[in-house]
Amino acid sequence: MSTLDFDIAIVGGGLVGASLALALAPHWRVALVERRAPAVPAGLPDDDWDNRVYAISPGSQRFLESIGGWQVPAGRVGRIREMDVRGDTGGALRFDALELAADRLAATVENRALQAALWQALAGRVELIAPATLVAAEFGAEAVSLTLDDGRVLRARLAVAAEGAQSWLREAAGIAVRRWPYQQKGVVANFRCARPHGDIARQWFRADGVLAWLPLPGNRISIVWSTDDARAAELCALAPAELAERVAGAVGRPLGELTTLTPAAAFPLVLGRAERCIGPRLALVGDAAHTIHPLAGQGVNLGFGDAAALAATLLPGRDPGDAMLLARYARARAEDVILMQSVCDGLQKLFSTQDPLLGRLRNFGLRLTHRAGPLKRMLMRQAFR
């Protein structure tokens, strides 16, 4: 049995874990442990699109650019210049990047393309241990020992759980998670549209859930339809032409007819929060620490915020597992995480109720916010910073 020593061991090589590894690499000996060896495509065909698409905030993009992780081909990056939000009985709210003196509110990018850019940037800079699965973890006073399924042991002064909502490392550390299932699934798929989308993200709060259209490069969009389990199963079972007709017809065909590019897939929606995001020589980032409803598209941005904050907190020359440094990281992230979770959860509950009075009030609120310039700009700065 061999033992490998590192300063920091990150478990989970998805977008958040990989970005954290890249941010830490200049100052620390970093190991990145991943269940599956990364598949980095040599190129992405024009007609092949990943249906997992993220709206990357300007702050997240600046973080990725600063660490060299934003080398995504320009033809795979879309732009959200405006956002058009519609209520279920006439309420409307519109955001425009010009109101913030910016050229975009967010960038849209596929999971696969951004993951490939991060993996390529990581090559030769961290110790990639993949494929590998953890089977034991011991949290000591001076170091964490992580045992892999092949018998090797990784010893690090800090371990980071970045392997998602079902984090094995978080469970091994005895950190509990509170979960509030929405009894909904998020249905995702990509489409080609007959008319240009104008770089406008569109979102409808409907009786059957929340439907969002995100602009992709060219005349393409990616959708997330947050709806009940039965309707999600129905959408996923539709033939491509039927799915395109259902998505276009649901909101009056604002972009004309749609053509399905990727099959629909669904994932469960759960509000989740770990009881704490740190432990002895342990930090949690991304979905291992918190999950939110996707209606505001902020889940991955919260994760990148975790990575940026943790990287900034771990001062070179200091023990990366120092309890005071970890406590500083926890304090730095608490407000943003709780605020975004509360806003998304509140909107989901407000628009899922069938109470007629609340229905009138929520749509009035959208119209009032649209007309209240200072309030709208404050919301925009919070959501698109």
- For the stretch 250-286, pLDDT in tens is 999 999 999 999 999 999 999 999 999 999 999 999 9
Contact yes or no for 218/76 (Cβ under 8 A): no
The mean per-residue pLDDT over the stretch 1-22 comes to: 95
**pLDDT band, residue 43 (cuts 50/70/90):** low
pLDDT above 50 (res 30):
yes
Supply the pLDDT for residue 97. Answer: 83
Radius of gyration of the chain (CA): 21
3-state SS, one letter per residue, for 221-276: EEEEEEEEHHHHHHHHHCCHHHHHHHHHHCCCCCCCCEEECCCCEEEEEEEEEECC
pLDDT above 70 (res 156):
yes
User: Is the N-terminal amide bond of 196 cis, ω within 30° of 0?
Assistant: no
Supply the pLDDT for residue 63. Answer: 98
Supply the pLDDT for residue 173. Answer: 97
Distance CA 306, CA 274 (A): 14
pLDDT above 60 (res 293):
yes
Angle ∠(102,76,73) on CA atoms, nearest 5: 90
For β-strands 82-86 and 200-206, DSSP reports them as parallel
Q: Which of 74-78, 95-99, 132-136 has the lowest mean pLDDT?
A: 95-99
Q: Which of 207, 191, 193, 267 is nearest to 233 (CA)?
A: 267
pLDDT above 60 (res 55):
yes
- Tell me the pLDDT of the chain averaged across its residues: 88
Chain-centre distance for alpha carbon 172: 24
Supply the pLDDT for residue 372. Answer: 47
pLDDT above 80 (res 382):
no
The mean per-residue pLDDT over the stretch 81-89 comes to: 81
Supply the pLDDT for residue 96. Answer: 82
Domains of the chain: 3-349 (3.50.50.60)
Distance CA 254, CA 256 (A): 6
Residue burial 215-237, b: 16+ Cβ < 10 Å; e: rest = bbbebbbbbbbbbeeebbeebbe
3-state SS, one letter per residue, for 128-167: EECCCCEEEEEECCCCEEEEECCCCEEEEEEEEECCCCCC
Tell me if residue 268 falls in helix, strand or coil: strand
DSSP state of 318: S
The mean per-residue pLDDT over the stretch 193-202 comes to: 97
- Give this prediction's pTM: 0.91
Tell me if residue 205 falls in helix, strand or coil: strand
Tell me if residue 381 falls in helix, strand or coil: helix
Q: Which of 216-220, 294-298, 356-360 has the lowest mean pLDDT?
A: 356-360
